[in-house]
A and B are shown apart, each in its own frame.
Chain A
Amino acid sequence: MARKKSVSNQSARREEIVDYDVKRLRQMSAKELQDYYDRVEPISDDEVNAIYDRVMPKIAYEIASDNQQKKPRHIGSSIKKTVLVAVCMTLMLSVVAQALGIPVWETVVTWTNDTFRIETPNRKATSSMSESFCFSNEEMEIWGNDVCKAFSEIGVFPSLPRYMPNGFEQFDLYYMTDDQGYSCVDVLYKDDSNHFINLVAEIYTSEGYSYAMTVEHDNLNTYDITINDVTYYFASNLKNNTVAWSDQNGSYFISGNINMSILDAMIQSIADDF
Chain B
Amino acid sequence: MIMAFAGAKPILKSDNPILYRSVENVSIAAGLPKTPDVYIIDDMSLNAFATGTTPNNAKVAISKGLLEKLEKPELEAVMAHEIGHVLNRDIRVMLISVALIGAIQMIGEILLRTGRVSSKDSKGGSPLFLIGLLFISIGVILGTLTKLAISREREFLADAVSANLTSNPESLATALIKISQDARLEILDGKATMTGLCIADPSSKAYNTAQLDSATTEKKPSVWQKLWSTHPPIIDRINRLRQY
Q: Indicate, yes or no, whether A interacts with B.
A: no
Chain A positions within 8 Å of B, measured between CB atoms, are none
